[in-house]
Amino acid sequence: MNIIFIGAHPDDLEILCGGTVAACVAQGHTVWMATATNGNVGSPTLSKAAIGTIRRTEAEAAAKCLGAAGLIWMDENDEFLFDDERTRLKFVDAVRQAHADVIVAHNPNDYHPDHVASSKLASDARILSAVRLIETTHTHLPKSPELYYMDSIAGLRFEPQYFVDITPYFALKQQAAQCHASQNAWLKSIFNTELTDHIKVHSAFRGLQSGVQYAEAYVQPSYWPKTGAGLPFLRR
């Protein structure tokens, strides 16, 4: 099965889905990680171009760490992700490049505007990716993929429907998150939070809810048509 995880910023996927990515890879699935924005405002000192380059390098290292087939870098400006035709086509092409059976997108009720925009764009790409006359670099898919929404940062405004037991992959998830060294340092300076602690608390809380040590949480929204393909390892 081919699965594409689409995050708004470099580091979102590692924080929210890193264990699931590793679990899917371990089970032989082909996993693509896609990042909508380039993180080019995530520095207190560097220029946009400099931090954007660093963040792409960090994201590529994290994707490699988790065993992803590739990182799709959509290169939109950080904090300015909008649902327009040009961006929509980028999302459609990303889903096609991954030849996705399953899309994992941000929760539409997320608190961050880029996450909300990314959720909408990724969700809408589900149907459009199979429409032949919507032309992008990669050819249209034979059928629309299935769609899941990932948890939100700190679990805000999110009521899980499914859990993935990530206990065997928790160390790898932390290792992937640590690839984002520039953000870890910056977040610590402005929010006084250590990313490893943040991830541990969140993953342990979802684990507590689902009866395992560490978990990640998902929901599947209502839509039509369904193909029957499912995100592996889902526990209710």
Binding residues for Zn ion, rule: CB under 5 A, are 8-9, 12
**CB of residue 154 to Zn ion, shortest distance in Å:** 12
Gyration radius of the chain's alpha carbons: 16
**CB of residue 198 to Zn ion, shortest distance in Å:** 13
Distances (CA, A) of 1 to 36, 60, 100, 156: 23, 22, 8, 30
CB under 8 Å, gap of 24 or more: what pairs does 169-173 form?
A: 169/18, 169/19, 169/22, 169/23, 169/26, 170/19, 170/203, 170/213, 170/214, 172/18, 172/19, 172/22, 172/65, 172/66, 173/14, 173/18, 173/19, 173/22, 173/66, 173/199, 173/203
**CB of residue 137 to Zn ion, shortest distance in Å:** 26
> How is residue 10 annotated by DSSP?
T
Nearer to Zn ion, 81 or 141 (CB): 81
Nearer to Zn ion, 12 or 165 (CB): 12
**CB of residue 11 to Zn ion, shortest distance in Å:** 7
Nearer to Zn ion, 76 or 165 (CB): 76
* Residue nearest Zn ion, CB atom distance: 9
Nearer to Zn ion, 14 or 146 (CB): 14
Nearer to Zn ion, 19 or 101 (CB): 19
**CB of residue 215 to Zn ion, shortest distance in Å:** 20
